[in-house]
Amino acid sequence: MKYFSKQRQENFFNVRIKSSGGEFSAAQLGAIQTLAETFGNGKIRLTSRQEISVPFIEEKNLANVENFCAAHDLEICPLGATLKTVTACQGSEICRSGIIDAPKIAREIERRHGGKIFPTKFLIGVSGCPNNCMKVDANDIGIVGAVKPIRGDSCNFCGACAKVCPVNALTVDREKNLWAIDENCRQCGRCVKVCPKDLRGEVGYKIFFRNDKIFPFVRGEETLYEIIDTALKNFCHTSKT
């Protein structure tokens, strides 16, 4: 597997360091600084796939860079037809809107499929909620955290849930004992957060595929991984090499 891409300048190469679910530790960043100052020209670039790229590495230093990265917990991105770095937003650990732990899911997909050779490169991204900050639907597979609201028995038709709905998908009418969600619900979970009674949210995943197929709501993390595993297996069988 190749790890260094040739630059326009003769004898110079570029290396990309993989993030882990969009994250680097401070120690890794320190090591990347040393890498760029020792083997590159001090320049560091960010890539669209949440990697850090270090350019201007001389050919004679490629083996040294590989050794340096191995010694400092820096994973080099392979070139060519592989699963590219799985991108992720900060997700529910940090973001107030977050529904799912996007970095954790990205790491698990990398653990299952990172380093495998595919017919062509394959892109997967994870967004923690329907705000979809990572624009994951531009990937071959995009995963978005979703919440399905489920009304409880003690609803008093106060209407607080309907007031915060950003797309007016909720209709509440105390006189008619009416509480209904229409098809515009974007599964953001805002209504669940404000309910003083027992409106609860079932957490799941919306999955986008490059061929425009969408799974609107998948239940369970293991089911999510099984769908990804199957999609990648099918991709290997149906793609032309």
**Footprint of ligand SF4 (CB under 6 A):** 89-91, 95, 97-98, 127-129, 131-133, 147, 149, 151, 155-161, 164-165, 167, 169-170, 172, 181, 185-191, 195-197, 199
Question: Minimum distance between the CB of residue 11 and ligand SF4, rounded to whole angstroms?
Answer: 41
| Residue 62 vs 160, nearer CB to ligand SF4 | 160
Side chain identity at 207, as an amino acid letter? I
| Residue 95 vs 236, nearer CB to ligand SF4 | 95
Question: Minimum distance between the CB of residue 99 and ligand SF4, rounded to whole angstroms?
Answer: 7
| Residue 79 vs 150, nearer CB to ligand SF4 | 150
Q: Which two tokens stand for residue 12?
A: 């110079």
Question: Minimum distance between the CB of residue 49 and ligand SF4, rounded to whole angstroms?
Answer: 16
Question: Minimum distance between the CB of residue 132 and ligand SF4, rounded to whole angstroms?
Answer: 6
Question: Minimum distance between the CB of residue 205 and ligand SF4, rounded to whole angstroms?
Answer: 13
Of 3, 119, 106, 95, nearest to 50 by C-alpha is 106
CA distances 209 to 30, 33, 80, 140, 237, Å, are 37, 37, 21, 6, 17
Question: Minimum distance between the CB of residue 202 and ligand SF4, rounded to whole angstroms?
Answer: 11
Q: How far apart are CA 58 and CA 75, in angstroms?
A: 19
| Residue 72 vs 148, nearer CB to ligand SF4 | 148
| Residue 61 vs 90, nearer CB to ligand SF4 | 90
What residue is closest to ligand SF4 based on CB? 128
